[in-house]
């Protein structure tokens, strides 16, 4: 039997991925394949530094890892994939690095459009990209429009996103409605808050994968992660592969989710 745990198999690429995903499905005896997987794509800069490369090269190579995650999610039947692309805190990084990230957003939106349409992937933006440069905003808006009809997988790009800012934004909206008289304080509940989030109708993540070996959520989906299964991987994001995604699904399937009960 070909192992999904050790190195690379000798099966052709597509067959290898099919085999590994099927192994993940068979191993998921206590839980189904997750509907929604979230990913903190950490380790791009460390990957670049360890090779004597500029940080921008780490981010560029990370796009290949994102392609791999999308392919693996599609093969497994995951319905939603949310990736942390740019946080509000990232603006504090070196200006040249921020510029490289903005340019990469533009390039990604333009070059990946055809493949994502062909794969049946719908792209949505989670966050406030009004501060992004005009070319990036335009390219991302076109990507969202061009893939809106797709149904196989929803790919959420969390850009200029902050979990705290999202909650504050929702609270301010509720406070405004209470002040205006269109909402009573006693009617405020969890659904009232959710309706004011960036993606109000999307389910909470079942699984969060963080690469890079750190154990923190970094201000990502703070409200939505309440009962999400967390998995930290030692590999840096540019090295993330279909194998890693399949192994994450296997570990998820072996867990028993109790939701506090």
State the first-to-last Cα distance of the chain, in angstroms, to the nearest integer. 38
Which domains are present in the chain? 31-162+236-253 (3.40.1180.10)
Quick check: is 150 catalytic? no
Q: Which of 42, 206, 243, 244 is an active site residue?
A: 42
Model-level pTM?
A: 0.88
Annotate 71-99 with three-state secondary structure: HHHHHHCCCEEEEEEEEHHHHHCCHHHHH
Q: Which of 22, 90, 150, 219 is an active site residue?
A: 90
Cβ count within 10 A of residue 156: 25
Quick check: is 90 catalytic? yes
CB 188 within 8 A of CB 194: no
Q: Give the residue from 21, 14, 1, 79 showing the smallest Cα distance to 250.
A: 21
Q: What is the pLDDT along the chain (261 residues), one digit of tens a residue?
A: 222 333 344 455 566 666 666 665 555 444 579 999 999 999 999 999 999 999 999 999 999 999 999 999 999 999 999 999 999 999 999 999 999 999 999 999 999 999 999 999 999 999 999 999 999 999 999 999 999 999 999 999 999 999 999 999 999 999 999 999 999 999 999 999 999 999 999 999 999 999 999 999 999 999 999 999 999 999 999 999 999 999 999 999 988 888 887
């Amino acid at each position: 039997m070909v192992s999904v745990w050790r190195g690379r198999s000798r099966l052709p690429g597509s067959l290898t991925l099919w085999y590994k995903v099927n192994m993940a499905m068979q191993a998921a005896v206590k839980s189904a394949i997750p509907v929604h997987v979230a990913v903190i794509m950490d380790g791009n800069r460390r990957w670049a530094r360890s090779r004597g490369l500029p940080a921008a090269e780490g981010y560029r190579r990370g796009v290949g890892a994102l392609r791999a995650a999308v392919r693996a999610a599609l093969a497994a039947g995951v319905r939603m994939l949310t990736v942390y692309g740019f946080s509000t805190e990232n603006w504090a990084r070196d200006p040249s690095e921020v510029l490289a990230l903005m340019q990469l957003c533009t390039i990604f939106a333009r070059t990946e459009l055809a493949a994502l349409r062909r794969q049946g992937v719908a792209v949505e933006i989670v966050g406030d990209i009004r501060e992004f440069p005009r070319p990036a905003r335009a390219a991302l808006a076109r990507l969202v429009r061009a893939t809106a009809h797709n149904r196989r997988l929803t790919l959420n790009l969390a850009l200029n996103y902050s979990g705290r800012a999202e909650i504050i934004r929702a609270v301010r909206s509720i406070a405004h409605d209470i002040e205006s008289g269109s909402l009573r304080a006693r009617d405020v509940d969890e659904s009232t808050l959710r309706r004011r989030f960036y993606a109000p109708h999307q389910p909470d993540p079942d699984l969060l994968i963080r690469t890079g070996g750190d154990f923190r959520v970094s201000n990502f989906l703070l409200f939505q992660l309440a009962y999400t299964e967390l998995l930290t991987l030692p590999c840096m994001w540019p090295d993330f592969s279909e194998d890693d995604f399949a192994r994450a699904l296997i570990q998820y399937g072996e867990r028993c989710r109790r939701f506090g009960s």
